[in-house]
Amino acid sequence: MEKITDKIAALPEDGTYFSLEFFPPKTQMGSANLQARLERMSRALRPLFVTVTWGAGGSTATKSLELAEICQRQLGLTTCLHLTCTNSSKAVVDDALEQAKALGVRNILALRGDPPRSEEYNEDGLPTGGDKGEEEFVWAVDLVKYIRKTYGDYFCVGVAAYPEGHSDQSHPDDQNVEVDLPYLVEKTKAGADFIMTQLFFDVEAYTRFEKRLREHESGVFKSIPIIPGLMPIQGYQTLRRTTKLSHAKLPQQVLERLDPIKGDDEAVKNVGVDILSEIVEIIRDTASPVARRGFHFYTLNLEKAVAQIIERTDLIPPADTPSSESDEAIEVVDMAATLKPGGRDRRRLSSVNSAPHNRIVVDRSRDPSSSAVSRNANYEAPSDSAGIPGDRPTTRANTLAISEGEGSLGREATWDDFPNGRWGDARSPAFGEIDGYGVSLHVSIPQALKLWGYPTTAADINDIFLRHVRGELDAIPWSEEGLRPETNVIKDQLSKLIDKGWWTVASQPAVNGLPSSDPIVGWGPKNGFVFQKPFVELFLPSSAWKKLKPRLETPENKNWITYFAGDARGAFEASDEESVNPVTWGCFQGKEIVTPTIIEGVSFRAWIEEAFGIWGEWERVYPARSPTAKLLRGLREDVWLVNIIHHGYVEGDALWDVLLEE
């Protein structure tokens, strides 16, 4: 039941601390795995607090509160619940705050969220008939004021800041810290207790920003905790996409270190740990009138990189009191092996190997209530298990080693270490998410209008998809990035599908054992070989799906093709719903076969909900009664989302021959 600011104030004046951000996983399997991960990270890392994200408009409300309850009540972690207020009614906000209070959560990160929609829509995205209804939140400051008015000082309230300027809907191409400052002053005066920044990699921009705040003429930032937000580098494509969406600058010196290895996820992650560790060191060594330094890590529900960064930079707090896990053991220092750049040494507790190794074999029939048994239990082994190797001692140091991916247990714990978007493994807590905030167009309303204009016919939608495939349009609502080079291999086939009114949102060509260094489809370590099954995902009219489905199920096709299909009403069809289909894999020296891209029923079901949610988000860019909104609404209600995989990857054109057959 502690407030974040109270915990910070209780630290030594020269103390450091860190916090971790998590989001509700998309699948039940992901949630179960995240809980195990949270237990491990809370034990090994001991963050000062954790934060739980909140989807736009309350889209993840139930799951966010469930995750907050696990963190706060079950794991005993001081928890901060994100709360976005735009596109949400007062009733949604009130319910969230009341439930947070009931759970013992006393910390709220008050955010605006996505830019406000047209007033013709309510929080469920439905037309209101022109009435504004009960929605009253436009900016984060409105939420801060409301929390203070309603709950007094019960909640510790944090607000967001942007070290490189906020790319707002009204200024999408002009990020300016000075433009943002009056709003940050207003939020702070309204009752903010701490400030947390958006992610950044330009450490000089951050230090300038913090200095500007501390010296601001209003004086409101003089002593308030300012916590820099950092995102461990999980992979090259993830980094480029995240920084593009957040408008965070990637300094040239960072790119120079990553570009030569961008195809090797493992190498990128290792260099990324170096880069983030250096950023932490620079900020920690920068003079500040507020001595206690904190760092917030956007984990993306992954643990290996963040655990390595936190240990390398000595952010892990010591145990408060000696425990039965032998954490009170003396430190053993190998200076040659542990000395780090910058002068600090890296130390591990001797408790790594402090559990007893030699034990007495005893008869299991002995009275377990015997005081001698309880006194010597650590040094005894039952006779029926003597000779069976015991489990690795669950000390804090061993748990940390697992979180860092060391040994067989570490590999099992961090098996999903490299996020691969929504076509990764649905069992992963990181599955299918890039920022943890749920369904979104990831562009502002002015940017959406600039990109896609005002379509009024299906032909206009065709044109948007064709321009994207041809490289003339940077993004479509379901893809915020330009097409990758491998798409050029099948560009003609995709264009022909779009000409039929089948709108493609994901695809890949067949690849049969090309070198991992191939400039177009290569990935992973050098001297390996990569493979791909061709697949395509597309929206097509319900009438077209009725005609296509029997073709996929003919005797000559059904043994080679797997499909999954669904619509906005919840209908679902599949050739084999239980099938698990690796569609990208690689063989590398000294490694097991790596399968980063998997398509299966559970993952496709999760994506259906999001994909049709994006239709709704696109619709709400426009007034509810406009021709464009009516068009998008009608298409959303009619089209099917279909994913088709062809398993004959040695026959490069087999999939396209089936789909383009007249």
Encode pLDDT of 391-449 as tens digits.
455 688 899 999 998 988 888 888 888 765 556 788 888 887 655 555 567 777 888 89
Nearest to 493 by CA among 546, 534, 456, 527: 534
pLDDT for res 61: 84
CA 448, chain centre distance (Å): 23
Above 60 in pLDDT, residue 172? no
DSSP string covering 123-158: TTS-B-TT--TT----SHHHHHHHHHHHHTTSSEEE
CB 50 within 8 A of CB 109: no
Q: Which domains does the chain have, with CATH numbers?
A: 4-118+135-313 (3.20.20.220), 445-660 (no CATH)
pLDDT for res 512: 96
pTM score, whole prediction: 0.80
Above 70 in pLDDT, residue 356? no
pLDDT for res 373: 40
Q: What's the half-sphere exposure (Cβ side, CA atoms, 13 Å) at 172? A: 14
Is 434 exposed, middle or buried (CB count within 10 Å of its CB: 0-12, 13-18, 19+)?
A: middle
Q: How far apart are CA 357 and CA 5, in angstroms?
A: 43
- Tell me the catalytic residues: 21
pLDDT band for 348, please (50, 70, 90 cuts).
Answer: very low
Three-class DSSP category at 599: strand
Report pLDDT digits (tens) over 568-623: 999 999 999 999 999 999 999 988 888 888 999 998 998 898 899 999 989 989 99
Q: How far apart are CA 196 and CA 162, in angstroms?
A: 9
Instruction: Name the one residue in this structure whose structure tokens are 């007495």.
Output: 360
DSSP state of 339: B
pLDDT for res 368: 39
Nearest to 296 by CA among 31, 47, 6: 47
Instruction: Name the one residue in this structure whose structure tokens are 């959406």.
Output: 448
Summarize the confidence of residues 632-658 as an average pLDDT. Answer: 96
pLDDT for res 259: 94
Mean confidence (pLDDT) of the chain:
83
pLDDT for res 326: 38
Identify the top-confidence range among 165-169, 275-279, 377-381.
Answer: 275-279
Sheet with 535-540: strands ordered across: 503-508, 535-540, 640-646, 561-567, 572-574
pLDDT for res 305: 95
Above 70 in pLDDT, residue 57? no
Above 80 in pLDDT, residue 467? yes
Nearest to 151 by CA among 112, 77, 81, 94: 94
CB 501 within 8 A of CB 541: yes
Nearest to 539 by CA among 622, 624, 634: 634
pLDDT for res 442: 75
pLDDT for res 635: 97
pLDDT for res 329: 34
| Both structure tokens of 527 | 């001297």
Q: How far apart are CA 49 and CA 71, in angstroms?
A: 9
The alpha carbon dihedral of 546, 552, 555, 561 has a sign of negative
Helix axes 627-638, 458-469, angle to 10 degrees: 80
CB 400 within 8 A of CB 45: yes
Q: How far apart are CA 164 and CA 312, in angstroms?
A: 27
Summarize the confidence of residues 120-136 as an average pLDDT. Answer: 48
pLDDT for res 133: 43
Between 501 and 287, where is the model more confident? 501
Report pLDDT digits (tens) over 8-51: 999 998 899 999 999 999 888 899 999 999 999 999 999 999 99
Q: How far apart are CA 438 and CA 68, in angstroms?
A: 16
Between 89 and 581, where is the model more confident? 581
Q: What's the half-sphere exposure (Cβ side, CA atoms, 13 Å) at 554? A: 8
Summarize the confidence of residues 626-654 as an average pLDDT. Answer: 96
pLDDT for res 136: 66
Which stretches of 16-128 are assigned E, i.e. beta strand? 16-22, 49-52, 79-84, 107-111
| Residues whose CB falls within 8 Å of the CB of residue 302, separated by 6 or more in sequence, listed in order | 232, 234, 414, 416, 417, 419, 429, 430
Q: What is the largest CA-CA distance in the chain?
A: 83
Above 90 in pLDDT, residue 187? yes
CB 479 within 8 A of CB 505: yes
Above 60 in pLDDT, residue 58? yes
Q: How far apart are CA 575 and CA 558, in angstroms?
A: 8
Nearest to 206 by CA among 242, 161, 243: 161
Instruction: Name the one residue in this structure whose structure tokens are 């006779």.
Output: 383
pLDDT band for 333, please (50, 70, 90 cuts).
Answer: very low
Report pLDDT digits (tens) over 282-308: 999 987 777 799 999 999 999 999 999
Instruction: Name the one residue in this structure whose structure tokens are 């890039």.
Output: 434
pLDDT for res 244: 83
Nearest to 76 by CA among 47, 97, 111, 108: 47
pLDDT for res 623: 93
pLDDT for res 364: 43
pLDDT band for 382, please (50, 70, 90 cuts).
Answer: low
CB 374 within 8 A of CB 354: no
Summarize the confidence of residues 134-147 as an average pLDDT. Answer: 81
Nearest to 441 by CA among 117, 135, 132: 117
